[in-house]
């Protein structure tokens, strides 16, 4: 790249950055984007990004820099796409326009299908109750434990004096509890561990969550309002208190209705979609030669640089294997 070319690239980049930093307010109906005879107002842009991933929308709401980068990227793509058509670049790259259309149709199908399924699958109460009888496990509320804790954190490479200091702190906590002091007050004052609520409370834990918790045997063995002995964990030392417990039970139909509808919808979605596709194929007299399609796709050349990188990765994986 020549020095003049580099200057032009840097100049264009600076212009895009300046554009991204410009005020974004526009009157109703006023063009926010203008490229030749192509325009887009704020309402059109809002509609376009309505279908963006929630993670992206959340990120640009809270991060101004991410929003500026998105604006630059979106604007750049619009400019390049228009130039590709106007300057005949697409004509030199056969299939690229069709590839873009393929992405478009894939996104449309992915969004429309769930709506179609929802609109065409309306289970009645009798079907739901029958489904509940056949799938009782869906309507079982597991045993749940409402737990609080107070703990002293000990580093994995703690020295003996640090370990002794932690033991002394947890022993002091244990004595205060035994003397009748409020567990919640002690947890707020002395615990190193995070909590979801005051008093060291970590909330309701299901059997599955307790199974993943250090000291699970201790927690499940506690009675309501009972406090445990000191438990050694990878974090340090912990004392648990069982604030409440709900035994496993079968949910009522009304309690389980939402879950039943979701599972039925998901379970029968594939069949609903297959039936719809059959209808559409007849409607449009459509067909696909699968073997010919496979041959055509497999004929696409693969970037040799990608193949080299993939081979290097696989060799590296084999070398690391025992």
pTM score, whole prediction: 0.54
Angle, CA 122 vertex, CA 117 and CA 126 arms, to 5°: 145
Average pLDDT (227-231) is 94
The domain limits of the chain are 3-92, 94-137+254-322, 143-247
Residue 246, beta-bridge partner list: 144
Q: Can you give the pLDDT at residue 321? A: 52
C-alpha span between 198 and 183 (Å, rounded): 11
Percent of the chain residues past pLDDT 70, beyond the cut: 89
Q: For residue 256, what is the enclosing H or E element? A: helix 253-283
SS3 assignment, position 109: helix
pLDDT tens per residue, range 79-91? 999 999 999 999 9
Task: Check pLDDT > 60 for residue 301.
Answer: yes
Please provide the average confidence, as pLDDT, over all residues in the chain.
85
Q: Considering only residues 316 and 179, tell me which one the structure prediction assigns the higher pLDDT.
A: 179
The hierarchical CATH code for the domain 143-247 is 3.10.50.40
* Cβ neighbours of 42 (radius 10 Å): 17
Nearest to 149 by CA among 62, 246, 95, 215: 215
Give the ranges where 63-149 is alpha helix by DSSP (H). Answer: 64-86, 96-120, 125-134
The residues, any chain, with a CB within 8 Å of residue 164's CB and separated by 6 or more, are none
Residue 41 phi, psi dihedral angles, 5° rounding: -95, 175
Percent of the chain residues past pLDDT 90, beyond the cut: 40
The residues, any chain, with a CB within 8 Å of residue 167's CB and separated by 6 or more, are 237
SS3 assignment, position 240: strand
Average pLDDT (135-150) is 92
Task: Check pLDDT > 70 for residue 11.
Answer: no
pLDDT tens per residue, range 166-215? 999 999 999 999 999 999 999 999 999 988 899 999 999 988 899 888 88
């Amino acid at each position: 790249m020549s020095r003049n070319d580099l200057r032009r690239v840097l100049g264009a980049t600076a212009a895009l950055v300046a554009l991204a930093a410009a005020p974004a307010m526009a009157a109703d109906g006023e063009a926010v984007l203008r490229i030749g005879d192509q325009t887009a107002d704020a309402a059109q842009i809002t509609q376009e990004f309505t279908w963006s991933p929630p993670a992206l929308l959340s990120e640009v709401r809270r991060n101004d820099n991410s929003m500026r980068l998105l604006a630059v990227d979106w604007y750049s793509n619009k400019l390049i796409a228009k130039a590709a058509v106007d300057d005949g670049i697409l004509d030199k790259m056969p299939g690229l326009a069709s590839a873009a259309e393929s992405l478009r149709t894939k996104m449309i199908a992915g969004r429309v299908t769930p709506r179609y399924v929802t609109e065409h699958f309306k289970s009645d109460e009798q079907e739901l109750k029958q489904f509940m009888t056949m799938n009782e496990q869906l309507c079982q509320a597991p045993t749940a434990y409402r737990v609080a804790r107070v703990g002293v954190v000990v580093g994995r490479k703690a020295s003996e004096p640090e370990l002794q200091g932690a033991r002394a702190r947890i022993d002091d906590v244990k004595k205060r509890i035994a003397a009748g002091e409020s567990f919640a007050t002690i947890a707020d004052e002395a615990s190193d561990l995070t909590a979801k609520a005051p008093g060291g409370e970590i909330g309701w834990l299901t059997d599955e969550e307790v199974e993943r918790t250090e000291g699970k045997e201790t927690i499940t063995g506690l009675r309501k309002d009972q406090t445990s002995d000191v438990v050694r964990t990878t974090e340090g030392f912990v004392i648990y208190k069982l604030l409440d417990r709900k035994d496993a039970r079968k949910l009522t139909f009304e309690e389980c209705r939402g879950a039943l509808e979701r599972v039925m919808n998901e379970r029968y979605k594939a069949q609903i979609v297959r039936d719809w596709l059959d209808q559409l194929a007849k409607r449009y007299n459509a067909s696909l030669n699968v073997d010919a399609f496979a041959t055509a796709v497999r004929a696409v050349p693969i970037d040799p640089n990608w193949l080299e990188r993939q081979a290097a990765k696989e060799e590296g994986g084999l070398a690391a294997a025992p």
